[in-house]
Amino acid sequence: MSLLTETIAAIRPADAEALAAAQAHQAQLTKPAGSMGLLEPTGERVAAMVGEFPPPVPDPVALAVFAGDHGVQTHGVSRWPQEVSAQMALNIASGGAVVNAMCRQVGADVVVVDVGLVPELPDVPGLLRRKIASGTGDMTVGPAMTEAQVHAALEVGIGVARDLVARGTRLLLVGEVGIGNTTPAAALVSVFTGQAPAWVTGYGAGLDDAGKAAKIDVIETAITVNRASAADPIAALAAVGGLEHAAMVGYLLGAAALRTPVVLDGVIACAAAVVATALAPDTVDYLIAGHSGMEPGIRAALAQLGLRPLIDLDLRLGEGSGAALAVPVVQASVRMLREVATFASAGVSESPDGGTIEGGPGARPEAGQEQQR
């Protein structure tokens, strides 16, 4: 059995009993029901993911940053030159990027994984050299990758998740670097959500309006030329994805197979999430939406997944920065479940009607949002 087949077969829905125990306990805590909003279902979901009540506060934390280059950049879909991908990968490996500051703040380790950069990088600490190809092909004239390359990238991602969990990591974060990678990300979101490219394409790392319009044209062409369809997720990923996108899909599947919560970042991570859930729907049970950034593809992907982002700070960087910033929120959601006194233990009188805050974010799903997690 291939590593991918084995990993998909190991993905089970999160534990309903642990979820029920966490929900029942949450209702006993000395606060009006729903008063802690999205923190409440987040802590309960972590209990269900790890299959344990009360769950441990998820720690240690590690971020994997997958790096790749993109043939489609010959069309100028990014404002930046391709060499910046490798330069930023080295900057992250040596601790100098924004995401390193965010990760130091929240106590997360960082590892960079070269799955598809064009240059050969030196053997430096903090960098895993797992190159599958020197960049992808131009997706406007044919598939960006072969299916064999996709499988190899998926296996790299699964392997990174396995290694981090084997090392003791209990909360995984996913990030990326790769000039042009918001283009394949928007293409994947379009194919897997059915939303038109114009609705899910953003400015990336600083395009102007004309640049964004040209980027949308490129994405429309690539989807049409390749006849990319969600009905065959691997073929669609090969057609309009990227090597780091594919590795991120593997990482999410690997995390789910190991019942380990994984925090998504921006549009590239969200694109990987819609592909991963097309391959193994129960993967969604292990995903936490870190933030809602400025790229419209994030909203489209999260709506399809039924996930609500934990923070909203107008970020539009990537790297894993939004995932890192969500870490204290995830940890606080679990700490609340573990440490807050119950009405009985603290001798606080319960409201006769349960004390639910009407209309509070966690109180009850709004119409049409029953699936929101």
Ligand X SMILES: O=C(O)c1cccnc1
Q: Which residues bind ligand X (CB under 6 A)?
A: 182, 204-205, 265-268, 293, 295, 316-318
Q: What residues are paired with 61 via a beta bridge?
A: 108, 171
CB 324 within 8 A of CB 106: yes
- Count Cβ atoms below 10 Å from residue 211 Cβ, excluding itself: 16
Burial track 186-205 (b if 16+ CB lie within 10 A, e otherwise): bbbbbbbbebebeebbbbbb
Closer of 71 and 204 to ligand X (Cβ) = 204
366 is catalytic: no
Which of 19/72 has CB closer to ligand RBZ?
72
Least distance in angstroms from the C-beta of 317 to ligand RBZ: 5
CB closer to ligand RBZ, 55 vs 197:
197
Binds 88: which of ligand X, ligand RBZ, none (CB < 5-8 Å by kind): ligand RBZ
Which among 192, 183, 158 is positioned nearest to 305, based on CA atoms? 192
**Which does residue 295 touch among ligand RBZ, ligand X, none (CB within 5 to 8 A, set by kind)?**
ligand X
Binding footprint of ligand RBZ on the chain (CB under 6 A): 78, 80, 84-85, 88, 176-183, 204-205, 317-319
Q: How far is the CB of 217 from ligand RBZ (least distance, A)?
A: 15
State the nearest-atom distance from the C-beta of 146 to ligand X, in Å: 26
Single out the catalytic residue among 44, 244, 295, 319.
319
Place of tokens 């991963």: 276
Task: State how far the Cα of 96 lies from the Cα of 330, in Å rounded to an integer.
Answer: 25
Contact 153, 67 (CB under 8 A): no
Binding partner of residue 68 among ligand RBZ, ligand X, none, CB cut-off 5 to 8 Å per kind: none
Instruction: Write out the E strands in 137-195.
Output: 171-177
Q: Pick one of ligand RBZ, ligand X, none as the site partner of residue 316 (Cβ within 5 to 8 A by kind).
A: ligand X
- Report the residue number, 47 or 243, with the smaller CB distance to ligand X: 243
**What are the phi and psi torsion angles at 45 (to 5°)?**
-65, -40
Half-sphere exposure of 284 (CA within 13 A, CB side): 19
Nearest to 246 by CA among 163, 172, 139, 144: 144
Shortest distance in whole angstroms from residue 276 CB to ligand RBZ: 19
Q: Name the residue among 272, 292, 273, 293 with its Cα closest to residue 284.
A: 273
Pick what 71 binds: ligand RBZ, ligand X, none; C-beta below 5 to 8 Å, kind-dependent. Answer: none
Smallest gap, in angstroms, from Cβ of residue 205 to ligand X? 4
Nearer to ligand RBZ, 29 or 108 (CB): 108
Whose CB is nearest to ligand X? 266
Give the active site residues: 319
